């Protein structure tokens, strides 16, 4: 029996940073996001041999380990973290196992691929070991593995997006999160999708360093970082309301305001390539947009008037960007079995 799982990647419209400690503990954070039809995939294959085999199809790496606790050494640590967590949960794994992972987007793409991969592995291991988990438990387990066990810096929005799927307004507090699914009419979803352009900037980045910098600035009381996070929280609520009211052009314009605010958090959030692409998009008619994820590279999301969208896409490609086709995905983590 093979146990498979997939979970959707996400685009975050606003609020990233307010989900990173200590901001949610002190002030409460919130994020507005939606999942898209790009996925992280995992296969869990029980084996008779008393060993663990982990394969990352993205990196072309396969490693074999003795059955037992796996040491973190900078290679395949997220997969090791998931296996260690379930080993501790169960006392021991019932047999050897082979794990294969693959993502439709590379790490550092700004689409939440690392957290989504962990959520996918959690789903696959839980299916194999028959561990019943709610969406909230999957998200929290994923967060604990990433942030506490493997000790990767970052927030907690991606874990919830992957587990729940769809359009969500997610609130973060000291000891819990609340996922508010948004009931957006299909016509509005289609119209928003038609207006948006997703552009790969040509480079990925390590989000942990950017997150560490912006939160250190917040903890140190740097005025631009503190006021920037507060303003992002306010704008997230405004963007949620505009989306629910189907005021999509106003939504697009406010994305620009949110992007200008996000850049106050840390210098590394943007760079010359991102600035050049975004300035050209605005020159060609884009109402607004933002870099996805922590910044510094990955994907640029643009809101375009329909009549200007082809020209904006052409301009992005002329400057080295790559247009990425996508559609919104309403489902979260899914698991199934193959005999």
Q: Where are the domains of the chain?
A: 2-183, 186-323
Q: How far is CA 189 from CA 84, 138, 259, in A?
A: 40, 27, 22
pTM for this entry: 0.95
Q: How confident is the model at residue 230 (pLDDT cuts 50, 70, 90)?
A: very high
In this predicted structure, the answer to whether residue 225 has a pLDDT above a threshold of 80 is yes
The widest CA-to-CA distance across the chain, in whole angstroms, is 61
In this predicted structure, the answer to whether residue 207 has a pLDDT above a threshold of 90 is no
Residue 297 has what DSSP assignment?
A: S
The answer to whether residue 158 is catalytic is yes
Structure confidence at residue 214 (pLDDT)? 87
Average pLDDT, the chain: 95
Which residue out of 19, 77, 104, 158 is catalytically annotated?
A: 158
In this predicted structure, the answer to whether residue 337 has a pLDDT above a threshold of 70 is yes
In this predicted structure, the answer to whether residue 295 has a pLDDT above a threshold of 90 is no
Dihedral of the alpha carbons of 73, 77, 82, 87, in degrees to the nearest 10: -20
Q: How confident is the model at residue 10 (pLDDT cuts 50, 70, 90)?
A: very high
Given 3.40.109.10, 3.40.50.2300, 3.90.1150.10, 3.30.230.10, which CATH number is that of 2-183?
3.30.230.10
Given 3.30.70.260, 2.30.29.30, 3.40.190.10, 3.30.70.890, which CATH number is that of 186-323?
3.30.70.890
């Amino acid at each position: 029996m093979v146990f498979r799982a997939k979970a959707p990647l996400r685009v975050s419209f606003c609020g990233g940073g307010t989900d990173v400690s200590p901001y949610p503990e002190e002030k409460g954070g919130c994020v507005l996001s939606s999942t898209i039809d790009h996925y992280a995939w995992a296969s869990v294959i029980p084996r008779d041999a008393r060993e663990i085999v982990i394969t990352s199809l993205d990196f072309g790496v396969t490693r074999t380990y003795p059955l037992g606790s796996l040491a973190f050494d900078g290679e395949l640590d997220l997969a090791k973290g998931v296996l260690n967590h379930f080993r501790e949960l169960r006392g021991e794994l019932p047999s050897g196992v082979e794990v294969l992972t693959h993502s439709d987007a590379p790490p550092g793409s700004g689409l939440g691929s690392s957290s989504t991969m962990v959520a996918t592995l959690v789903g696959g291991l839980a299916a194999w070991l028959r561990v019943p988990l709610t969406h909230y438990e999957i998200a929290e387990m994923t967060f604990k593995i990433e942030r506490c066990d493997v000790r990767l810096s970052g927030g907690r929005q991606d874990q919830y997006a992957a587990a729940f799927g769809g359009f969500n307004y997610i609130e973060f507090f000291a000891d819990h999160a609340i996922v508010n699914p948004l009931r957006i009419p299909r016509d509005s979803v289609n119209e928003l999708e038609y207006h948006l352009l997703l552009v790969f900037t040509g480079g990925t980045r390590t989000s942990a360093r950017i997150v560490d910098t912006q939160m250190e600035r917040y903890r140190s009381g740097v005025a631009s970082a503190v006021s920037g996070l507060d303003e992002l929280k306010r704008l997230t609520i405004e963007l949620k309301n505009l989306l629910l009211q189907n005021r999509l052009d106003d939504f697009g314009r406010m994305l620009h305001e949110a992007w200008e605010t996000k850049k106050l958090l840390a210098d590394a959030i943007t760079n010359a390539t991102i600035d050049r692409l975004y300035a050209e998009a605005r020159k060609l008619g884009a109402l607004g947009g933002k870099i996805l994820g922590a910044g510094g590279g990955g994907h640029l999301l643009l809101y375009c008037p329909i009549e200007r969208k082809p020209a904006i896409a052409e301009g992005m490609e002329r400057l080295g960007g790559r247009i990425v086709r996508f559609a919104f995905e309403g489902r979260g983590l899914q698991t199934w079995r193959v005999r």
